[in-house]
Amino acid sequence: MKPAAFFFDLDGTLVDTETPWTRAIVKFLDDRGVSASEDDVAPIVCGRSWYDIHSELHAKYPTLPKADPAADAVLLRPYYDRVVVDPKSVVIESSVEFLKKVASFAPVAIVSGSPRADVWDMARTCGIADRLEFVLGTEDYPRGKPAPDSFLRAATLLEVDASECVVVEDSTAGVKAGRAAGMHVLALNRNTLVPQDLTGAQWLVGDLSEINVDTEFEPSGIRYQVKKVRDLTNATIQDLAKWKISKK
């Protein structure tokens, strides 16, 4: 096929962070008087946006002090940093290499449920920030996966047909979101924390190195270039200046 764009999930797809985030949240809850195990928290975390995770944590543990999800994201970050001392240790190298390959002939974006600033941080850690057209974080769309909102927003920003896009995902929610958006789905089956139902994916692999990019995909003939925003504090999707360049 000739993909108009590739939209990558982040956690579990490009970086192996869902177990560290689960452990961080368990400790975060414990420090706020809430007892929970990793088995309790993992199903809430995997494949979900931070806003949805935050909402479900408060529903499941009503004694948890009420707080704004953006504020709690800031408070949670040091817990994660104590679990993951070396950020590069969670990079899934084969997934990063796959992204670099497809970025050579099609526009690529990360569409994540994590806060946008965290997504940019991880993109830089992976060494792919300069390959991305933009990133979408949890604050950039109304409903998290499995709703299709995030992927449809990404297609709209690039002015491409959703049916010509490829979603790269590792979770039940992500695959459902991609399918609901009318996109092709490449599913990465490597989640050992919580088994995922990846039914509906067009491709199913245990590692992205299993995909032969040269035989599976070909250039669509259109490239998009985006003026990327590097100030992570003030960056918003509205700051992105976009123009279309025909590939010769």
For residue 232, the model assigns a pLDDT of 34
Q: What are the tokens at 238?
A: 């509205």
Could you read off the pLDDT of 72-104 as tens digits, one per residue? 999 999 999 999 999 999 999 999 999 999 999
Quick one: pLDDT band at residue 60, thresholds 50, 70, 90? very high
Greater confidence, 104 or 244? Answer: 104
CATH fold of 18-83: DNA polymerase; domain 1 (1.10.150)
What is the DSSP secondary-structure string of the chain?
---SEEEE--BTTTB--HHHHHHHHHHHHHTTT----HHHHHHHHTT--HHHHHHHHHHH-TTSPP--HHHHHHHHHHHHHHH-SSGGGGB-HHHHHHHHHHTTTS-EEEE-SS-HHHHHHHHHHHT-GGG-S-EE-GGGSSS-TTSSHHHHHHHHHHT--GGGEEEEE-SHHHHHHHHHTT-EEEEE----SS----TT-SEEESSGGGS-HHHH----SEEEEEE----TTT--GGG-EEEEEE--
Residues of the chain with CATH 3.40.50.1000: 5-16+91-246
Strands 222-227 and 241-246: antiparallel
Could you read off the pLDDT of 9-49 as tens digits, one per residue? 999 999 999 999 999 999 999 999 999 999 999 999 999 99
Q: Could you give the CA distance from residue 213 to residue 229 in angstroms, rounded to a whole number?
A: 29
Within its chain, how far is the Cα of 243 from the centroid?
Answer: 24
Residues of the chain with CATH 1.10.150: 18-83
Quick one: pLDDT band at residue 223, thresholds 50, 70, 90? low
For residue 127, the model assigns a pLDDT of 97
Taking residues 107-132, report their average pLDDT: 95
Q: Is the pLDDT of residue 114 over 60?
A: yes
Could you read off the pLDDT of 142-179 as tens digits, one per residue? 999 999 999 999 999 999 999 999 999 999 999 999 99
Class of domain 5-16+91-246: alpha beta
Q: Is the pLDDT of residue 234 over 50?
A: no
Taking residues 116-133, report their average pLDDT: 95
For residue 221, the model assigns a pLDDT of 61
For residue 158, the model assigns a pLDDT of 92
Quick one: pLDDT band at residue 208, thresholds 50, 70, 90? very high
Taking residues 56-65, report their average pLDDT: 96
CB 46 within 8 A of CB 191: yes
